[in-house]
Each structure stands twice: as structure tokens, then as C-alpha cells.
A and B are shown apart, each in its own frame.
Chain A
Amino acid sequence: MFENFSEMMLELFATSLWETVIMVGVSGIVGGLVGIPLGVFLRLTDKGGILQNAPLNTVVGGIVNAVRSTPFIILLVAIIPFTRLVTGTSIGTWAAVVPLTLAAAPFIARLVETALREVDSGLVEAAQSMGATTWQIVWKVLLPEALPGIVAGLTISFVSLTGYSAMAGAVGGGGLGDLGIRYGYQRFLPDVMLAVVLILIVFVQAIQSLGDWAVRRMSHR
């Protein structure tokens, strides 16, 4: 067991782990920066929202659903021209970050929308009775009250992105998943595959624990 772990192989593991961290971290953060406002927008324009606007909500909601229903492996290759536009290349880790981000944003948007829906409408009404602007309602009431739910949603998103990042090998993105496929599967090195899986389990467990801890700290319900 583990007779294949030469120094070179260990270096390969370190590089792959770093690539996974980059892909998941960057796409999660940028996806959040896009997805959170998108989720707020969806909530505000939805029926019963303070900026209720059915046509706009349907259009944006439709785009979100369309991206979410596209299988990631297809999205990965389908947007190559866009990826090239953004990063200047269509292969490598950064080329994988673009489609991962594009997949993460609508996913996060829906989770944020759900978290915002959990905020009692009475709180919005109370803020309105105090003369709050829409902007203030979002910043002082909706986001702080939904924060534990949003963080829980982000945690789920990071975990999902870890799974998606395994497909990044298709565009030469590297990462642990790609290492497992190329060495563990295609070169018949079961111990490499096992090590990849174990590292990913620890990786996901760490994300989940961190997220749970943050939610517990923020929640005062």
C-alpha cells in the first residue's frame, strides 16, 4: 500500500490540493459576490417583496434556472469562448474558475433567496414603519437577519463546488479530482485514488465544520 508515493507524487498532491483550493475558493467567493445580490434581487422583486416586479423576476429567475439546469460538464465546455475572453486562455486552473463561478452564482442566488424568505415579513413592516428606505431594509434588516441562513447556504455551495471542481480536468484545470482520475483511474494506481478521496473527505469536512461553527456564532434565534 502507498508504494507509489514518490517525492514527485507528493508534490503532485500538494499542487493539486492548491489548485482545488483556488478553484473552490475563488469561484465560491466571486460566485457569492454575484449570487448574494442576485438572491436579494430575486427576493425583493418576488410576489410580496418590497420591490415586487413580476416580469423582471420571471426573466431573471428564468436565467438563473437555465444556468442551474445545464449539467456542469456541458457548461464547462459550452462557455469556452467567454472563458477565453475573461482569462485569455481556455485551459488551466483559471479557465476552470470561470465556469465554476458561473455555476456557483445562480446556485448561491437561490439559497440566499430562500434564506431571505425565512425573514419574518413583520420585520420589514416594522422597518417601513420607522421610515426605512429599501436600501436600509436590505442592509439593516434582511441581510443581518438572514445571515446565518446565507452562511449555511454558502457552506453548501463550497461543498458542491468541491464536487464540481473534479470535472475541471476536462479543461486542464487540475485539482485533486483530476489527479484521482488521471493517476488513480487511468494509470491504475488505487492507492492514489484512495488518498485523493481521503483528502477530499477531510477537505469537505473542514468546510462544513467551519460553516456550522460560523452559523452557530451568528444565530441568536
Chain B
Amino acid sequence: MIDLRGITQIYQGPQGPVEALRGIDLHVTPGEVFGIIGRSGAGKSSLVRVINLLNRPTKGQVVVDGRDLTRLKDAELRAARREIGMVFQHFNLLSSRTVWDNVALPLELAGMDKAEIHARVQPLLELVGLSHLADRYPAQISGGQKQRVGIARALASRPKVLLSDEATSALDPETTRSILDLLRQVNRELGVTVVLITHQMQVIKQIADRVAVIEAGRIVEMGPVIEVFTRPREDITKSLIDEIVPQELPAGVLARVRSLAARLAPQASGQLLRLSYAGEQAYEPILSHLIRELGLDLSILHGQIDEIQEQTFGSLAVYASGPMARIGAAIDYLRAQGVVVRTVEVN
């Protein structure tokens, strides 16, 4: 649906040229929710604006639905933009227009007649649950409601792609969840491909199918969300998912490991293991196998089990004690089962 090829963007800053995007290649498949995450200044806002050419890249191709937007004439580009809806962090609703008229705006711009506009706006307001507020002005409704208007407006021209520029960053956690649910619903029921950028891993976790991590204008890591959560490779990714899956163990856990190590039987050795797993392995009795078949003692010290895209995903810190060789065998067994194992040394 969307193909970005070799996107480079150079701005003329006050201290000379600034490379905001450095050779980005990205492919978004039809019908998916693709998340782009990064810290502020990483280039994610520039990147999402490249997709509808609000931001014209210095180099590279932007292919949306089979057409290279960078080659289109002005009028063709305007027509192409109607196929790409966009929602914004600060909603960008017209204060001079009612909710109804805001949703009607893109249709007016497309030159649609009144009857047709009427027929389209009503169901959109119903979809986002705002029919009862149609005559209000944006100043009279809440932030979450404003974003619902923003989404209805973005969908008015029946786009194939919806771009979301930090759509939930100005909202509280509860409203964020309901807006994300709405985006997911739009994606599933209308088949709209969604590209969203955010700095919150929670957003990615809740609705994205795949995620790209952007840092300093480059995509440093990309893959299905569950994979990136269980096997983060880059430091930036680890630090971004830290808010959901703590990457460092709390001091209390480490203290407990030390006291367990001090009480080990002579001959026995102990090892702190961090396990992360997803999907099918979550249902296998892996830990009981270690206890029963390998005769290890296991203390579960820290962890969580959660769900991402309807797949169970877990992260555990386990202290295994027993004969040294058995511990080695346990690690091999876990890895064979597809569990990501990290051994952690505690001094």
C-alpha cells in the first residue's frame, strides 16, 4: 500500500543543513496497522508527512497505492491526498465550524454537493459516536471528542490510508485507549491501512501489527510488534519498551538473588535467568519441565504476562539453582522451545 524508497530529507537549518531523514525504506502492506516509534526529534513527524507529501523529501520515492506521489502534478497530488486521511496531535479542527461542518469540510473541498455531503457525514458521526454533538463547536467539546471529530473528518473522503500523527499524545490514558480502539475498529471494519507515529510504546502495544523504530532519521529496527517486544535488538528499542517491560530488574529483586545465592547448598550453583516468550510457548508447561525433569529449583522473582495482538507474551526473571550442568541443560532446553534466555550475573 505504501512504499517509501530511499527517503532522505535535508532541511536548511540556522547552523547549516540538517539531515532529518537519512535513507528510509519502508513497506506498509494493505490493511495493517503500522506503527513508527521514536523519541522526539528522531524524525517521525517528518517521516509521516512524507507519506502525503506535506513534506517533500529531498531524495527518494513515495509510492502510495501504486503511484509515485513525487512525480504527480499539483492537481493530481491534491486528488491523491484525498485518498490519504490524516489525524493530528492537536486535532486541527476549524473553530469557526461546528462538528458537523468540520467533518463536511473535506467533502466541500472535493466539490461534492450538499445532499451527498449530508449522506456521508451522518454515518461518520455515528461511527465515532458523536451524532448528538453535531451542532457543537470544537471549543465546546472534550479533547477525546475533538479527536473523534478529527478521525471522522479524515475518513470523510473514504481514504485507503489513514495517517495518525501522535493522535493520542495530548490525551489522558483512558481517552487514549478509546481513541486507539476506534482506530483499530476503523482499520478492521473499513479495511483502512493505518500508519501511526507515537513516542508511546503503549500505543504500539495496543494496536500496531508491525513497528519500526526510528532514531536520528534512520529506521534501526522493524518487525512484528510481538517479535520486537520479545527480542529487542537495539538499545533505543529496549529503552522504549522499558515502560512496558522493564529491561532492568529492580534493586529489590537483585538483593533477593544475592540472598538466595548465599544460601545455596554446597555443590549447587545458581543462575539468574531472564526469559521472554510469546505466542504458543506461553501455553507449554516449560517451567514445570525444568523442575520435574531436570530437578532444578526455581524461584520466580519478577515478571509479567500480557497480551499483544491477541498473543500472550511474557517476561520473567527466574533464579534457577541446582547442579551446574543441569542449569546449562535447562538453558538449552528453553532456547529449543523458542524462549529468549538471557543470563544475568549478580555481584
Contacts and interface: CB of A to CB of B under 8 A. Distances in A.
Contacts of A132: 78, 109
Interface residues of A, number: 21
Given A141-B94, A220-B96, A126 B88 contact: yes
A130 B94 contact: no
Contacts, number: 63
A221 B95 contact: yes
Contacts of A129: 52, 54, 81, 84-86, 163
B81 A144 contact: no
B82 A122 contact: no
A130 B157 contact: yes
Interface of B: 52, 54, 77-82, 84-86, 88, 90, 92, 94-97, 105-106, 108-110, 137-139, 157, 163
Question: Closest 8 interchain pairs by CB?
Answer: A131-B78, A126-B92, A220-B137, A131-B81, A122-B92, A130-B106, A129-B86, A144-B96
18 contacts: A120-B90, A120-B92, A122-B88, A123-B94, A125-B92, A127-B105, A128-B81, A129-B163, A130-B81, A131-B79, A131-B106, A131-B157, A132-B78, A140-B105, A144-B94, A147-B96, A218-B96, A221-B95
A136 B110 CA distance: 10
A46 interface: no
Nearest to B156: A130
Nearest to B163: A129
The secondary-structure label for the interface of chain A is: helix
Contacts of B108: 140
A208 B237 CA distance: 59
A136 B92 contact: no
A71 to B, nearest CB: 38
Interface of A: 120, 122-123, 125-133, 136, 140-141, 144-145, 147, 218, 220-221
Contact of A125 (B54, B96, B97, B157): B54
A127 B153 CA distance: 11
A127 B106 CA distance: 8
Given A127-B109, A130-B81, A131-B81, A145 B54 contact: no
Contact of A221 (B52, B77, B110, B139): B139
B95 A130 contact: no
A133 B78 contact: yes
Which of A130, A136, A145, A218 has the most chain B CB within a 10 Å cutoff?
A130
B109 A136 contact: yes
A141 B109 CA distance: 11
A125 B92 CA distance: 8
Contacts of A141: 94
Given A126-B86, A140-B105, A220-B139, A131 B110 contact: yes
Contacts of A122: 88, 90, 92
A122 B45 CA distance: 13
B300 to A, nearest CB: 49
Contacts of A133: 78
A122 B85 CA distance: 15
